[in-house]
Every structure is written in structure tokens, then in C-alpha cells.
Amino acid sequence: MTNDRQDFEQIARALTSQEGSKPISARVFGWEAFSTHNYWVYRLLRRDGIVSPVAAGTKDLSPDVTALAFMADVDQRRSFLLVLSSDSAMKNAPSVFLDSETHPLQPQGSGIWEATIPLSEDKAGFNTLFRVFYSFGFGAIL
């Protein structure tokens, strides 16, 4: 985990190149979009071997969701959630934690969905961001 772009790039390079062996393929979906923001989070979901989907933050995500990217534009008071789905047919938006009427996922390309989330200080805004960060593994049970 890192909150520094250079650290993230260094870790990604280390994971994708092993001395004396074949490099590992690592795709960071949405990198071009979220790397330009000062505040962002990325998660590639692992579904195998999960003991507790609640603790892993994957309980509310449909099985087709393979990665999430979140970026915030604090000055504009808005944020964006990118959802990568293995369902490239795009017939139905993937099931995520957002209220579909308030923050609908919009198709962006084959298997890619996006929701715009206002950065508001009210209870609804707090609850939405809490659920977003829970899905990135930063949840808390009170």
C-alpha cells in the first residue's frame, strides 16, 4: 500500500520484472485516468482463498468486478469510481455498493464503468465514501 505515485510505480516495476525469470504481467486498468489526480486508490481484486468477503470488502461486489479505481478532485469537490468488469457484453452494470439512482454507473468502454460521486460533507456523502473505502479494504466495523 502506498499513497505516493513514485512508490507505486517502483512497486509495479518490481512486481513485473523478476531477475533471471520471465516477467510477470501486471495490468493497472485506468492508470491513465487516475494517475493524473493527486488523490487516488487502486485495487485489483483477488477472489480465491477469501475467508471472509465482509472483511475483504468484496461482499457487495458482484463476481464480475475485477478491479476498482477511485480518484478525487478535491478542488472541484467531486470524485470518480472506475469499475472493471469481466462482463464485456455490458448488458447490465455490475453490482457495487453505490445507490444506483444517486451515483449511477455509466459505461465507458468494454468492461469499464464509471460513477461520479460528489465530495459533500453531509451524511449521504460520508456514507457513500465510507462504502467506497470499505471496498478498497479500508473498512471498519463499529
Smallest Cα–Cα separation from 1: which of 44, 63, 47?
44
Each residue's pLDDT tens digit, 96-142: 866 655 678 899 988 899 999 888 888 777 788 888 888 887 766 54
Distance, in Å, from the CA atom of 66 to the CA atom of 5, rounded to the nearest integer, reads 22
At 57-89, the pLDDT tens digits run 888 888 899 999 999 998 999 999 999 999 888
Mean pLDDT over the full length of the chain: 79
pTM of the model as a whole: 0.75
Q: How far apart are CA 60 and CA 103, in angstroms?
A: 15
**What pLDDT, in 10s, does the model give residues 13-46?**
766 665 555 544 456 777 777 778 888 888 888 8
Sign of CA dihedral 66, 32, 93, 121: positive
